[in-house]
């Protein structure tokens, strides 16, 4: 019975269970965004804040990569700064520069300004967007949140490490508040029907291993445990430097940056945990023939791995040509593993014996 259930699943969900066979699934972080002309048409009509808070636009933009690129999973059009919004902060996205938050929560003296609100009240538009999507799309839908350390980084105006060292106790208090709110947010997404969750602790690359274990890992662990056994992917920049730490959390999958070849990282990850990645996003500036060649190298190195999800090592960049993104996706979707299944040799090239 279990095997028949698994065989009927989309290949993305099979890979998360480390039970996929043949061609790996492919999707791209930031796959709905500025590089798509169809997205730009919408962006000219609405400020980004409004786009995030209109369920019908969440629906339309989330769907775009499915329709345009044919990827194997959709990721909810949302932002990792929805959590500060639910904590009573104002979040805006100016035309130039990064997002701005007000007030900045820079020390324990500012904690009284952090006021958690019920998720279904403050982020109702996410709930309604998911409802619209689940009525329409067949592909798996990925929900997400930012890692607590990353969210705190934005809330402090990117002066987070000063707080960590000057008053670690109150820093932990804020991290716990963010974690509690993030768990409620993810549980709402799961209840509404998303098929998997990814946690983006993007700014964890600011931390040493010791700092990561102290200020990021415990809160990621709480999130994983709160929603298990729901399929969960963990990602951070510099994830390849924290392999054992991420593995210790026992997520369904870990998404890796491009610092090391993925087949080398795979040797340090148990076969029961899927791996996702890990081409350098800037590779997509190259000519299509180069993109195809490098993508095939990745695919051949991971051939026969039932827990491999093809992706970039970070998000697609806003000025990448759409055709270059399509080359990457089409190369993965057109990849034909050798009959009888591939296997990875010691050099990771998957050459038949």
The residues annotated with a catalytic role in the active site are: 30, 34, 43, 79, 154
Is residue 137 within 8 Å of residue 73, measured between CB atoms? no
- Strand segments, DSSP code E, in 20-150 are 74-75, 90-92, 100-102, 141-146
Q: Tokens 């996929």 — which residue? A: 20
Is residue 224 within 8 Å of residue 187, measured between CB atoms? no
Is residue 47 within 8 Å of residue 137, measured between CB atoms? no
Write the CB contacts of 242 (distance below 8 Å, at least 6 apart in sequence): 204, 209, 212, 236
Is residue 137 within 8 Å of residue 12, measured between CB atoms? no
Read off the DSSP letter of residue 26. Answer: B
Write the CB contacts of 182 (distance below 8 Å, at least 6 apart in sequence): 83, 145, 146, 148, 151, 223
Write the CB contacts of 61 (distance below 8 Å, at least 6 apart in sequence): 32, 39, 42, 51, 77
Nearest to 235 by CA among 255, 263, 209, 217: 255
Main-chain phi, psi angles of 262, to 5 degrees: -65, -35
Residues recorded for the chain: 353
């Amino acid at each position: 019975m279990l095997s028949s259930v698994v065989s009927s699943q989309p290949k993305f969900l099979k890979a998360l269970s480390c039970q996929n066979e043949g061609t790996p699934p492919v999707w791209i972080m930031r796959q709905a965004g500025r590089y798509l002309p169809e997205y730009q048409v919408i962006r000219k009509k609405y400020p980004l804040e409004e786009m995030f808070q209109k369920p019908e636009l969440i629906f339309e933009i989330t769907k775009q990569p499915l329709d345009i690129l044919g990827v194997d999973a959709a990721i909810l059009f949302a932002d990792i700064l929805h959590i500060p919004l639910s904590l009573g902060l104002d979040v805006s996205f100016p035309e130039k520069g990064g997002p701005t938050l007000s007030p900045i929560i820079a020390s324990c003296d500012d904690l009284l300004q952090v006021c958690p609100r019920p998720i279904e009240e403050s982020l109702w538009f996410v709930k309604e967007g998911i409802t619209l999507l689940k009525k329409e799309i067949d592909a798996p839908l990925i929900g997400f949140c930012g890692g607590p350390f990353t969210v705190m980084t934005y809330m402090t105006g990117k002066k987070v490490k000063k707080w960590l060292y000057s008053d670690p106790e109150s820093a932990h208090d804020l991290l716990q508040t963010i974690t509690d709110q993030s768990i409620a947010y993810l549980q709402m997404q799961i209840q509404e029907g998303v098929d998997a969750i990814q946690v983006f602790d993007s700014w964890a690359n600011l931390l040493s291993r010791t700092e990561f274990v102290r200020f990021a890992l415990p809160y990621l662990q709480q999130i994983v445990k709160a929603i298990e056994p729901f399929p969960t992917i963990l990602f951070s920049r510099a994830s390849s430097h924290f392999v054992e730490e991420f593995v210790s959390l026992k997520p369904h999958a870990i998404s890796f940056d491009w610092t090391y070849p993925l087949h080398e990282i795979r040797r340090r990850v148990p076969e029961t945990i899927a791996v996702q990645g890990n081409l350098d996003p800037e590779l997509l500036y190259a000519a299509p023939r180069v993109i195809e060649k490098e993508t095939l190298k990745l695919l051949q190195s991971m051939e026969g791995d039932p827990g491999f999800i093809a992706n970039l090592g970070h998000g697609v960049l806003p000025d990448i040509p759409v055709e270059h993104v399509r080359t990457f996706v089409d190369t993965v979707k057109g990849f034909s593993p050798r009959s009888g299944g591939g296997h990875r040799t010691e050099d990771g090239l998957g050459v038949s014996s």
